[in-house]
Structure 1
Amino acid sequence: MTLTRRTRTGELHLHFARRGGRTALLRDRQKAPLMVVRPFELPCGTLMVFIVNPTGGVLGGDHSEIRVEVEPGARALVLTQSAARVQPSPDGAAATQDLRFRVAAGARLEYYPERTLPFAGSRLRQTLRAELEPGAELGLSETLASGRVHSGERLRFAEYDSRTEVWQGGRRVYLDRQRLVPGDETRAPGIWAARDYAASGVWVGAGEVTDWPATAGILATGRTAGGAVWLRGAAARGPVLDTALGVAREALRAQLFGAPPLRVRR
């Protein structure tokens, strides 16, 4: 390792289970710079935890490993405290993140991180794999900015590579792969055009969706061949996309999970 390159490996392993009629965080293994604050029980009975990175950013060369296991009957909501600010390394190394979720039958896991914000010259490679037993429920959404737009860094990151897979009962029900390498073509109208914020998501549940949420010109939803519900969205302004995403997310949760709205206080 040179003096110009310092790397970190963060680990976070969370194990949720139902005990005494309530969801509890049985075990949490934390290695800086990843950690969680004390879990909070929401009025609906879901146990919520915030992932915190006290260093204020993800640096090129860093690696993060996140593992979440949810036992039968437990309800877990995992959020992040702030946006993931991806910063470059002097030698151009990529930051990497590996997430693995295991959700048992009758359990529910929801993961709604804050926006990913890639700085100029940064690289991020991320893989997420969720393995669900039949009867398990999953909610997942993510948002991505085209960069620090107001600092003149629109599409100035070097690489963004993300792969998300959801498996249920040994069968893949959802696959989303995005690899963005900005260049002259991606800065031209027709790719991102005037939109600087994108969203994606997937939900798996036993309920039927009869009222498909959509916002004209911003957000759409549908169903994969494997039965999972997908979401795609893009907007010129982050708050506009966030509002549309929040409405769609609650509509899907209500229909697929039969769940009341999430009431999260930050």
Structure 2
Amino acid sequence: MFAVISRSRVTERIGKADDVGLQRSRGALDLTFSNREGISYAARRFQQGALKVRFPNVAKDEPPEAVIINTAGGLTDGDQLDIAMQVEAAAGATITSQACEKVYRAIGEPAEISVRLTLDAGAAMDWLPQPTIFFDGARLRRETQVTMAADARFMALESVIFGRAAMGETVEAGSLSDVWTIERGGRLVHVDRFVSGEEIGRMLGRATVLDGHRAMTTMRYVAPDASARLEEMRELLGSVPFPAAASAWDGLMVMRAVAPDSYCLNRELMRVLGAFRRRSMPRVWSI
């Protein structure tokens, strides 16, 4: 089922020696979803190293759901994950993760995550990984590149939790570089970059960043009806008990929110996005 086949879309970094000789985690995942007689299915499945994927049962009228699993249990300095996903013409897929990705204290280079997502004509993808938990002293460099047809539909959620409130954790040191680029119909429509210095706690405390909150999230919805659905999203956000807002332009909607902790954030995300998607969030999101 998961034979080692061509890796044309994932980088050849697994097994690369590092300078200090410490054990590092490497993982690669490459999936392609196709449409056959109106039914979407996973036509290509490649997994290697720490990354695995499982496909839970879904209702007959829903697209296949892929659950990403990092068997290493988290990331630290020098770890590398490479993910490539393609949804072919008229196919659909929902991608999520088994649990929150944890990024632990680093002693050297940052952990790296590279994600490349491709949507062909008439394709639909919901990219809904669970939040990333960022521990004190962690370093992470993540880059997500999306290439999609003009009539494709793409929803993406990305959340980061800075220390677990229930454990009394705070984040003072560490660095985060998180870059998104989206090309739609051959045209660059979105670039978003969040970059901190090593004193990330000071940056997060600013009123223009998290203003004392521990969690942040961004939803991106790229589709022909993105602008038409803006008021629908704003109405859903009206009852959210923490700062949240949405805007839309040129076929792209962006929603951002900050929350006091992960529990509050996930509870509201499940309600808001479940209503906006017109189907429940993946079962692994249940709290």
Q: Same fold (TM over 0.5)?
A: yes
Confirm whether residue 265 of structure 1 aligns to residue 286 of structure 2: no
Correspondence for 1:206? 224
Query: Residue 66 in 1 paired to residue 83 in 2?
Result: yes
Residues 1:221 and 1:105: Cα distance change in structure 2 (over 3 Å): same
Distance verdict in 2 for CA 1:183–1:176, change over 3 Å: closer
Paired position in structure 1 for 2:267: 243
Tell whether 2:50 aligns with 1:33: yes
How far apart, in 2, do the equivalents of 1:183 and 1:108 lie? 35
Report if aligned partners of 1:69, 1:102 keep a CA contact under 8 Å in 2: yes
| One-letter code aligned to 1:218 | P
SS in 1 for 2:62: coil
Paired residue for 2:130, among 106, 114, 117? 114
Give me the TM-score of the superposition, normalised by structure 1: 0.88
What is aligned with 1:47?
Answer: 64
- 184 and 8 in structure 1: CA distance in 2 versus 1, 3 angstrom threshold: closer
Structure 2 letter corresponding to 1:34: L
CA distance in 1, matches of 2:97, 2:53: 9
Q: Which residue of 1 aligns with 2:15?
A: none
Q: How much does 1:248 deviate?
A: 3.0
Counterpart mapping for 1:143-222 below 5 A: 143-181=159-197, 182-183=199-200, 185-186=202-203, 188=205, 190=207, 191-207=209-225, 208-209=228-229, 210-213=231-234, 214=237, 215=240, 217-222=242-247
Q: Percent identity?
A: 23
- Counterpart Cα distance in 2 of 1:3 and 1:146: 28
Give distance in 2, aligned partners of 1:160 and 1:27: 32
Opposite residue 221 of structure 2, the aligned amino acid is W
State the alpha-carbon separation in 1 of the partners of residues 177 and 201 from structure 2: 18
Shift in CA distance, 24/7, structure 1 to aligned 2, threshold 3 Å: same
Q: How many residues end up aligned between the 2 structures?
A: 258
Cα gap change, 1:247 to 1:9, in 2 (>3 Å) = same
Does the residue aligned with 2:232 lie in a helix, a strand or coil? Answer: coil
Post-superposition offset of 1:17:
0.2
Provide the TM-score with structure 2 as the length reference: 0.82
Aligned to 1:257: none
1:146 Cα offset (Å): 1.4
Match of 1:102 in 2: 118
Classify 1:264/1:184 alpha carbon distance in 2 versus 1 (closer, same or farther; 3 Å).
closer
- Quick check: 122-131 or 13-22, which moved more? 13-22
Looking at structure 2, the residues matched to 150 and 265 of structure 1 have their Cα atoms a distance apart, in angstroms, of 23
1:228 to 252, 268, 272: 252
Is structure 2 residue 141 aligned with structure 1 residue 125?
yes
AA partner of residue 232 (structure 2): D
Task: Please tell me whether the aligned partners of residues 5 and 89 of structure 1 are also in contact (alpha carbons under 8 angstroms).
Answer: no
- Root-mean-square deviation (CA, aligned residues, Å) is 2.1
Cα 1:23–1:4, aligned 2, differ >3 Å: closer, same or farther? same
Report which of the two has the higher share of helix: 2
Paired residue secondary structure (1:46): coil
Q: Using the TM superposition, give the Cα deviation of residue 114 of structure 1 relative to its aligned residue in structure 2, in angstroms.
A: 0.8
String of CA shifts for 1:166-202, please: whole Å, max 9, x gaps. 1101112222211123356336463433311111010
Q: What is the DSSP-based 3-state SS (H/G/I as helix, E as strand, rest coil) of the residue aligned with 1:211?
A: helix
Do the aligned partners of 2:26 and 2:81 also contact (CA within 8 Å) in 1? yes
Offset, 1:42: 3.3
Return 5+ residue gaps in structure 2 as ranges: 1-17
Query: CA separation in 2, counterparts of 1:194 and 1:38?
Result: 38
Q: Which amino acid aligns with 2:244?
A: L
SS in 2 for 1:185: helix
Larger deviation, residues 62-71 vs 213-222: 213-222
Are the counterparts in 2 of residues 110 and 138 from structure 1 also a CA contact under 8 Å?
A: yes
